Structure 1
Amino acid sequence: MNLDIAATFLVLGDATSRNLEFSHRDDVRVSYGEETITEANILEIRRRHQDIVRVRTFPKHLEARTGADWEWHIIGLRRTLKMRVQAKRLQCNDVLKISHKVRSSGEQQRDLLIAGAHAAGMKAVYCIYCTEPQRKFWKAFHAPPGYRSFQTGCLLADATHVLPTTRKLEEIEEKCKPWHHLFAPAGLMQEELEFFPVQEGGFVKLRRIRLLQVPLVEAGEVPQAADASGWNAPTVDDLNADTEREFDPAGVEATTERDLARLQPDTDDGLEVARYDSDHLRDLGIYRMIVIDVRGGSVPEERDEWRWR
């Protein structure tokens, strides 16, 4: 698993949940739509991980003919997970609108998402933005002293598990996974901050270290990856090595030189792939692409800067 990027997705899921709930308050009522949430999260992922994340965005001239508004490419040593993703936000009245006709064709967005992803060899996924009061299964738990628990405001669902008649999160929540599970599949739900002095160049300064720890609660109290009946997504470990896990192979392919070129936009191969991606995605009406390099994502069990218990 990749702890650094897992922490980012964990924190952003928490922020999305809290900000969306705050925007629903009667004394606030600030627009916090799918576009705003997605753009803010992509920007923060890119800012925090500039060495391993690449983002491409394009002007939105038309609604996607594929039912998706962004692509994910998570590149591991052995395998790459490719997803076509459609973001959905629960409204303040708790309604989840899955049924949606694309204006240009009159077809259901969900049908286009699934068919387009399948034709491209990708996984069709919904990314659902929601608040803590709107969730029943993936609830934040009570953290012990010195910790704070995280809310899971960004849930991923296999689009084939989400019926077009879906109107409430509770209908599909147990089929969802918090998005940080792609990078750390179980138990990574708490954060502790410490400060300590570091001697550098003759000066002493304080350096902040983020320590992620598994919950200090009884086994079975916290939802784990195996608790949900939905998408059994591959993790970073599955993409980097031959694990013993059986995971959903949809959208998973052997990592190619073309995949790696997406991580090197300044090379000739990288420029060629970037031009192709730009033309191809614009033609499809997909206007965001995020590429994440997790080839260094498998970590040893013990590292000085991380403490587990």
Structure 2
Amino acid sequence: MGIDLRWSTEARRTEVAPADRSLCRTLRACATRTFERLAHNHFDRSVPGEETFTDLNLQDLGRLHGDRVAICKFTRQQEARNGADWEWWFYSGNLGFGMRVQAKRAMRGGGYKLEHTVSGTGRSQSRLLVQDALAAGCIPAYALYNHRNRSRSTS
């Protein structure tokens, strides 16, 4: 069955053959956990940074699907040069494709700051992402960490 990654329940892993684990199911579970944590933490005004969510999600993907997903998380210095938080390669046998990914966390009221200028260089992060990803033979992509955009009920 895989693993339940939702933050509100204890993660339990059922041993299954690697080929039987669903990458799609794991990605959905990561998205659900991230969505719920962001929504909950925005109400308490104690929102972790996007790096926290990236670390948790990449750890789960590497642990559960390391046999078919290779992940390279970039340092802040590397990100300033290439515009990406990480690169991952999805493969089966000798076939695969790579993606350079920039994560963005939704702001409290919703929306994203996609037009980020890299400190010290004055360059657009999104342009760096596209240019560097294509030069490396990867697909440029964003991972958007979002949440419910509504107020907590007081009743």
Normalising by the smaller structure, the TM-score range is 0.7 to 0.9
What does 1:202-213 correspond to in 2, within 5 Å?
none
Greater Cα radius of gyration, structure 1 or 2 = 1
Q: 1:104 to 1:33 in 2, by over 3 A?
A: same
Amino acid of the structure 1 residue aligned with 2:113? K
Q: Normalised by the size of structure 2, how large is the TM-score?
A: 0.73
Residue of structure 1 equivalent to 2:47: 31
Which one has the bigger helix percentage?
2
2:57 to 41, 51, 61: 41
Residue 33 of structure 1 deviates from its aligned partner by 1.7
How many positions carry a matched residue from both structures?
132
Residue 97 of structure 1 deviates from its aligned partner by 0.4
Residue of structure 1 equivalent to 2:137: 121
Superposed structure 1 runs of 4+ greater than 6 Å apart = none
Q: Structure 1, unaligned stretches of length 5 or more?
A: 135-309
Q: Normalised by the size of structure 1, how large is the TM-score?
A: 0.39
Q: Percent identity?
A: 34
Give the whole-Å Cα distance in 2 for the aligned partners of 1:33 and 1:41: 13
Residue 48 of structure 1 deviates from its aligned partner by 2.9
Q: 1:78 to 1:43 in 2, by over 3 A?
A: closer
1:13 to 27, 31, 36: 31
1:97 to 113, 117, 124: 113
Cα RMSD of the aligned pairs, angstroms, is 2.4
Q: Structure 2, unaligned stretches of length 5 or more?
A: 1-18, 151-155
Q: Is the CA contact (8 Å cut-off) linking 1:46 and 1:53 kept in structure 2?
A: yes
Amino acid of the structure 1 residue aligned with 2:144? I
Q: 1:63 to 1:72 in 2, by over 3 A?
A: closer
Amino acid of the structure 1 residue aligned with 2:85? D
